[in-house]
Structure 1
């Protein structure tokens, strides 16, 4: 089976980096070498809230951004880096991440871009 690689792979990589910075651990723990590759391909990432429960309140919504970026199925991730960036900027400005909220409220399917205004 051939799997198509697109920009959502980079979104996952950025989410994994953010997870590491905020939690102090890799998304699949301290596994190494081939086990890490197997874990990445077969196991969902834990929610950042599980591993970084004490992040400051102004950063809490970032956990939702990281979890969306680390969705196991790529169609559930951000559709592109620009959409993820918009959510990060919203959180930095003290607002809820619009993409995460729209998906969770069922206004758009996961993986679809936000409608342009």
Structure 2
């Protein structure tokens, strides 16, 4: 069995809903980052000290999971169902193959480490 790293980039307001949906399918291990980015959505204009500032970046969250290959499709389906609003800025999902993982405390490797 192989491992996959899944990165989900989406709106911060959707994180708790995503976390709860993933926990329902028994996925609990994740790393979450606050990130900024832009794409089709571009940025938003803000008023700071009476001046309009054009921001080219939007606040997002990035959720990283390393899971066994067998869980990937259920995680992707859950993320798509939870995060889809049909509007620009729903986010992206990326996949990366992982050759190995080692749990430092126990020395377990591969799927046993995650």
TM-score, normalization by structure 1: 0.23
When Rg is computed on C-alpha atoms for both structures, the one with the higher figure is 2
User: Highest relative contact order (Cα 8 Å, sep 6+), 1 or 2?
Assistant: 2
Larger strand proportion of the pair: 2
Larger helix proportion of the pair: 1
TM-score, normalization by structure 2: 0.24
